[in-house]
Amino acid sequence: MLNENKQLDAKIQKARELQRQTEALMKDIKRTAIKEIHQYMARYNITLEELGATAASKTKAAAPAADQQPKKAVKRVKVSPKYQSEDGLQTWTGRGLKPKWLKAELDAGRKLEDFLIKTE
């Protein structure tokens, strides 16, 4: 058992070291890429504003055409809770999956009607 723990610790340590090496390598790659980008920008006299305009124009190309109507967002209505736990701290609207607290009570033999919030 002790030997297995040592082996597991060694593997975890190796994984952490590989992660550190990967992060360092990615930093170097990124640093090199940025340096090359700066060189291209200087060589071709490209400004940051021009790069921003290029990115914006590509985003506009993905937008729907002017003759197409954009889809309207579905308006969601807040629903009042229909069921609550005995302590009154947890509620459920009756929509979607049953919450864990209610499922546990139902599995214990209780009925859904036992948790109805009484409206007067």
How many Å apart are CA 29 and CA 15, to the nearest integer?
21
Among 3-7, 51-55, 89-93, the least confident range: 51-55
Dihedral sign for Cα atoms in the order 28, 33, 34, 38: positive
The predicted model scores a pTM of 0.39
pLDDT confidence tier of residue 18, bands split at 50, 70 and 90: very high
Contact 70, 64 (CB under 8 A): yes
Confidence band, pLDDT 50/70/90 cuts, at residue 5: confident
Cα Rg, the chain, nearest whole Å: 30
User: Region 96-120: what's the mean pLDDT?
Assistant: 91
Per-residue pLDDT of 56-106, as tens digits, reads: 666 555 555 666 677 788 888 888 999 999 888 999 999 999 999 999 999
Segment among 10-19, 29-38, 50-59, 74-83 with least mean pLDDT: 50-59
Structure confidence at residue 44 (pLDDT): 84
Tell me the domain boundaries of the chain. Answer: 2-61, 83-115
